[in-house]
Homo-oligomer: A and B are copies of this chain.
Amino acid sequence: MLDNEKITLAHGAGGRVMQELISKRILSQFSSDILEKFNIEVSLADLDDSAVVNDIVFTTDSHTVKPLFFPGGDIGSLSVAGTINDIAVMGVEPLGLSCAFVLEEGFPISELDRIITSMGTSSKTAGVPILTGDTKVVERGSVEKMFINTSGIGKRTEQLDKNIEIVKKYRKFEGRWLKDSNLNPGDKIILTGSVGDHGIALLSYREGYGFETELQSDVWPLNKMLQATISVGGIVAMKDPTRGGLANTLNEWSEKSGVGIKIDEQLIPVKPAVHAACEMLGMDPLTIGNEGKAVIGVVPELAEDVLKAVKGFTEGAEAAIIGEVKAQKEQKGVVMETLMGGRRIVDAPAGDPVPRIC
């Protein structure tokens, strides 16, 4: 890159441009010899949802969603659920969150109260406490209303150990963690519900398209459902398809695991309002961010059992097995069989089709 290059929205969109920023500019400075003296099993270089050190799962997210209040949620519920989900997809139990506010001078305290109440409610729903915090206020114009950073920690459970023992009955498995690089040919892909709800509800509300009258964001903490799912066993990887949507998640899995992934369009739940909005706006629902969904990779022998466990929860009622993992020699990248009977390559979006959704 040249010296006069500038940050663009795509650098923060969760897609390919952001991955390049991280891998070329950040990892070279942050990785170092000091890593060796620590017991780090998942590091920054893995680009997973969380890191793991000394069996502690650790993750962070800054939330800049616009507007602060949207159909189905607000920046408070989003920040709590988002960080809980990043921990929960590692297959562990969230122990607690931090909460750091950056507030604009003049921000109405009544709105802050609503957001704090929403964070408290989400925290109680999930059963995950907010343990520590920070508050900064900057002058008018230095930040747009407010941003929230939530970081979180989680602990390894016996259920995760047992889950991995079960995986090993069926196939070879390296390591002790659910990582993006764990998929093998034959594994089944489960999606826990419809895609695009959060991004489209938010976009539609922000721009006044009107679809939000029949559509709400899916902001929801998934830890209880995912803990129950882990107890079934056979799970090799989990991920929440936020920025860049399902397309981004599956491409990350495909690249990091060195496998192909085949999915079937007719098996992927998409709500009518999301479908209609995407048609009108020329968007692909697979690239739209979600805040209450997970993608689960599972050995084929246990796919139906895991699906049943997920469907036992309200937040997983629409879950489906949407595809499976292929050997790279058989298929490269992510490919979808379309409703029309054709096949199309599902690329990771370079940027984010809907900015400021989280």
Residues of A within 8 A of B (CB): 1, 3-13, 18, 21-22, 25-26, 29-30, 32, 34-35, 37-38, 40, 43-44, 50-51, 53-54, 56, 58-64, 66, 95-96, 98-110, 112-113, 116-117, 119-120, 123-124, 127-139, 141-144, 147, 149, 151, 153, 155, 355-356
Contacts of A61 in B (CB 8 A): 100, 134
With A13-B137, A109-B5, A136-B12 in contact, do A129 and B96 touch (Cβ < 8 Å)? no
The answer to whether A129 touches B40, judged by C-beta atoms less than 8 angstroms apart, is yes
Q: Contact check: which of B4, B56, B95, B101 meets A108 at CB < 8 Å?
A: B4
Taking A32-B120, A34-B129, A139-B355 as known contacts, 11 extra A-B pairs with beta carbons closer than 8 A to each other, sorted by chain A number, are A5-B108, A7-B105, A11-B135, A12-B103, A12-B136, A26-B116, A30-B123, A62-B134, A62-B136, A62-B147, A149-B149
User: Which chain B residue shows the least CB distance to A6?
Assistant: B106
What is the total number of copies of this protein in its complex? 2
Q: Contact check: which of B95, B117, B155 meets A29 at CB < 8 Å?
A: B117
Contacts of A8 in B (CB 8 A): 105, 137
Q: Contact check: which of B9, B95, B112, B136 meets A56 at CB < 8 Å?
A: B95
Contacts of A64 in B (CB 8 A): 102, 136, 138, 142-143
Interface of A is mostly: mixed
Among all A-B residue pairs, the 7 with the closest Cβ atoms: A12-B137, A29-B120, A151-B151, A60-B98, A51-B131, A149-B149, A51-B132
Contacts of A43 in B (CB 8 A): 129, 131
The answer to whether A143 touches B151, judged by C-beta atoms less than 8 angstroms apart, is no
A128 to B58, CA, bound (A): 14
Q: Contact check: which of B51, B98, B116 meets A96 at CB < 8 Å?
A: B51
Q: List 23 A-B contacts (CB under 8 A).
A: A4-B110, A5-B109, A5-B110, A6-B106, A6-B108, A7-B104, A7-B137, A9-B139, A10-B137, A11-B135, A12-B103, A22-B135, A25-B113, A30-B133, A38-B95, A38-B96, A40-B96, A44-B130, A60-B133, A62-B149, A66-B142, A139-B356, A143-B143
